[in-house]
Amino acid sequence: MNLNDVHTIYFIGVGGIGMSALARYFNGLGCEVHGYDKTETFLTKKLVDEGIKIHYVDDLKYIPEQVDLVVYTPAVPDDHQELSFFRKSDIPLKKRAEVLGMISRDKKSIGIAGTHGKTTTSSILTHLLKVGGIDCTAFLGGIAQNYASNFVRGESDWVIAEADEYDRSFLQLNPDYSVILSMDADHLDIYGNEDDMHEGFTQFAERIKPGGKVFLKKGLQLKRTSIDSIDFGVEQGAYQAKQLRVENGYFVFDYESPIENIENIVFTLPGRHNVENATAAIAIAQQLGVKSEAIIKATASFKGIKRRFEFIYRDERIVYIDDYAHHPTELNAAIDAARMLFPERKLSGIFQPHLYSRTRDFVDGFAKALDQLDEIILMDIYPARELPIPGVSSRLIYDRMENPNKVLLAKTDLMEHLQERDFEILLTLGAGDIDTFVEPIKNKIANG
């Protein structure tokens, strides 16, 4: 189908971070945009303010008479009434990834893939290109603070898209440039095992357009050596960050590449992993002709992404940081970054595991990562799209942790428990609804 023929579009799961970016795209084109989501959130309220019509009850009466295209997310259950109705209708029904592929196919596109770092790298690259004079469009998996949105509209031919490995969505893209940041085992409910997941990333790399370039983090290996790739990293790779250091509370590094070396890049996001993400973004920006002066300006003015090591509160007494980390690798990165910035202070964490299957698959990794904290509050699992798995709960992690300063809590008891605690550096961690506690925790801290 031709997207130019779409005048009324309907989203099932419109409040998801990827779905809402697409909804904003079509809304900006002047389409009539409708959608369903299970719960009202800050993001859905923003979409309504922007003119998108949203309801929160699975009921066919909310479906408009004329619909040209329906977009849904795989997270919606098969017994959803509205989804079932559209599956039986003649109205085109497509997954979010298919529509994103259709949008990017006629453009020059950049696909950012990896089990971690997609949103940060995509947002950094968006800012680098914008500051460098390339007015790109970007579909982001988080709220970029510089643009207060997960969708950034541009007038050039360049589109930046997160290439999501979940449900093999990234195989809908055919990028001019692609980046693979990480391939840690995840989404094993989809892939079955780590080897098959690596095959998925290899297939994504093979989808590069003729003459395009694949940038691969140094140390990663694709399943087939016939794929030409360029490596990047920290202190390694053809494009690399060097001399990583902390100066005046910021990370500073030098950058070396075949195109141009840059010294004393000041970067606002903490952590070695974020410098690695920035290195990949700078490599792509250089390919597109962005100059060193613009790169230096952009990295220093990048404000980060909501829930990616986001400073919520900070004074002389206490620092409160919120992070989306929901995989052991991401927990390690967030905790390491906090330790580097505040090496002498007590580090406390509140973690909400995301998905029963992920908890089961990575229980030892979670326990080991959380043991690095001085004290940990462990919440119940956030199930998202899953039904409970017998024998799988947060206690699995709790029992394997060696850290003696640990507490297991239901989320209904969290705020009452916090009344008894004093913190120095506090991290809230997880991808579930732990974000609904951010404002209450902030208010508790600010009011002493």
Q: Tokens 């001085």 belong to which residue? A: 374
Residues 153-159: what's their mean pLDDT?
97
Which two three-digit tokens encode residue 4? 């130019």
Beta bridge partners of 100: none
pLDDT tens sequence across 34-89? 999 988 988 999 999 999 999 999 999 999 999 999 999 888 888 999 999 999 99
Confirm if 178 and 163 have CB atoms less than 8 A apart: yes
- pTM equals 0.84
Supply φ then ψ for residue 443, to 5 degrees. -65, -40
Band (167; pLDDT cuts 50, 70, 90): confident
The pLDDT of residue 185: 66
The pLDDT of residue 346: 96
On the CB side of 32, how many CA atoms lie within 13 Å of its CA?
Answer: 8
How confident is the prediction for the chain on average, in pLDDT? Answer: 93
Band (24; pLDDT cuts 50, 70, 90): very high
Residues 176-195: what's their mean pLDDT?
79
Closest CA to 373 of 429, 310, 418: 429
Cα 335 to the chain's mean position, in Å?
A: 17
The pLDDT of residue 384: 84
Residue 395: CB partners within 8 Å, gap ≥ 6?
A: 408
Q: Tokens 């016939």 belong to which residue? A: 226
The pLDDT of residue 187: 55
Task: Please give the domain boundaries of the chain with CATH numbers for all domains.
Answer: 3-96 (3.40.50.720), 107-301 (3.40.1190.10), 310-446 (3.90.190.20)
Residue 61: CB partners within 8 Å, gap ≥ 6?
A: none
Band (189; pLDDT cuts 50, 70, 90): low
Q: Would you report the helix, strand and coil content of the chain in percent, each value rounded to 5? A: 35, 25, 40
Beta bridge partners of 250: 247
C-alpha separations of 239 from 208, 245, 378, 433 in Å: 20, 18, 39, 37
pLDDT tens sequence across 296-336? 999 999 999 988 899 999 998 999 999 999 999 999 999 99
The pLDDT of residue 328: 95
